[in-house]
Amino acid sequence: MTAAEVVRVERALGAVLLADGGGGRAHRTDFHGGRLERAGADVRIFSGPPPAPWRLPLPDPEPLDDPGGAAAALAALRTRFGRGSRLHYTQTSSVRVVAGPGTDDPMPQRRRVWSLTGDLRTRGGRTVPVGRSGRGPGAARLPEPAWLDTIGRLLAAVDRAEPLETGAPPAVLSPQAAGVLLHEAAGHFAEGAADGTPVLSHRLRCRVAGELVCLDDDPLAEGGPAHYDRDDDGITALGRQRIVVDGVLVRQLHSAASAARAGAMPTANGRAASVLQRPLPRMSNLICRPGGTAVDELVENVGHGLFVHRLADGIRFGDTVEARLVLGELIRSGRRTGNYVTGRVRERADVLTRIVELGDRGEFTDNALCGKDRQMLFDVGTCAPAIRFSALRCTS
């Protein structure tokens, strides 16, 4: 290996189970391959072990969940939530190692992640997207009673929901829904440019949220879906770093490449979905510091408005942030009414500047899936409290 070369190698076991109208299907994958880069020159993608002289020791990944148990759990979910449901359970166990200049000594990084994705069908025939993911073995998480109860109530409420009128009501977002907007509007804004251009350092010191908001990124956060001590560039993570203080962006998240182009230090946020793809600047666990107000009090302070129970399919492009309003509930005279609504949140990227109050307890959202530049990660965590907005733009 020369000083200008970086080699990344991965061995990964994967399994995909699908439960739908066609019955159950299963794929098992055993990947071994890598990516060799020469600075400013060519890239080589290969299957199998790396060619000499780039041999790196690579231990076996942890074994996957028992496929029989996972298939039974998935089938039970489908039975419980309707024959029209379609569910994928995916699990991956991998070992990845990166070596090259600027990286510390090659050290295998283990990763074990899972996801449950698909659509559930309500009794009334409506479709509700489901997305859960996290770290570690997942099969035992599929039949968790608390999650089953939550989803059961969600489906029942969606069946009773009416289309939301277009408008910009004051709103309280549940921790899950608040996490979606924080992730899209502030988290992605804090990420450096994927290939270093355009350099986005002009974003530093921009106001991205109301002054109550402080955000950290922490790849070692307790309970967070992301958990690594070295990123996919081989950079050692130093722990929690503040990225938004009093609503102002004070630090950008960088991979090795984006940091080099920006003239900044890498922040151990270089993450790749597969070793075949280049690491991009990505969040690890985005953590919003809670405030001091109970959720009921946030609702009371709204007066007339909207309580957002659940958002899905959040996306940011350009200066807009959008998400599917899976379930909202009208608030009248400071009380939730049981009148449910569905629609779409269609907001500007400065939506977080309308944050006026924070709940007193943060919690990690159960969906840590995040796609960016054709790379999907299972483990991008967001920990948020319930949040009150002075206005939230919604459409039916």
Contact pattern for another protein over residues 265 through 284, marking x by CB under 8 A: --------xx-xx-------
- Indicate whether 289 belongs to the interface with another protein (CB under 8 A): no
- Which residues, 64 to 103, sit near another protein by CB under 8 A? 86-88, 90, 92, 94
For residue 66, report the phi and psi dihedrals to the nearest 5 degrees.
-60, 120
The answer to whether 14 contacts another protein (rule: CB under 8 A) is: yes
**Closer residue to another protein (CB): 352 or 369:** 369
Contacts of 81 (CB under 8 A, 6+ apart): 120, 121, 151, 155
Provide, rounded to whole angstroms, the least separation between the CB of residue 130 and another protein: 10
Cα separations in angstroms, 241 against 45, 219, 330, 353? 33, 9, 37, 21
Contact residues for 149 (Cβ-Cβ < 8 A; gap 6+): none
Task: Write each residue from 109 to 148 as x if it is in contact with another protein (CB under 8 A), else as -, in one continuous string.
Answer: ------x-xx--------x---x-x---------------
Asked whether position 28 contacts another protein by CB under 8 A, the answer is: yes
Owner of token pair 């599917």: 324
Number of residues assigned to the chain: 396
58 is an interface residue for another protein by CB under 8 A = no
C-alpha dist (Å) from residue 224 to 16, 18, 380: 23, 27, 8
Residue 55 sits in the site that holds another protein (CB under 8 A):
no
φ, ψ (nearest 5 deg) of residue 298: -60, -45
Q: How far is the CB of 359 from another protein (least distance, A)?
A: 29
49 near another protein, judged by CB under 8 A: yes
Residue type, 336: R
Task: Give the number of other CB atoms < 10 A from CB of residue 122.
Answer: 20
Binding site for another protein (CB under 8 A): 12, 14, 16, 18, 22-33, 40-49, 86-88, 90, 92, 94, 115, 117-118, 127, 131, 133, 273-274, 276-277, 315, 317-320, 322, 346, 348, 369, 371-376, 378, 395
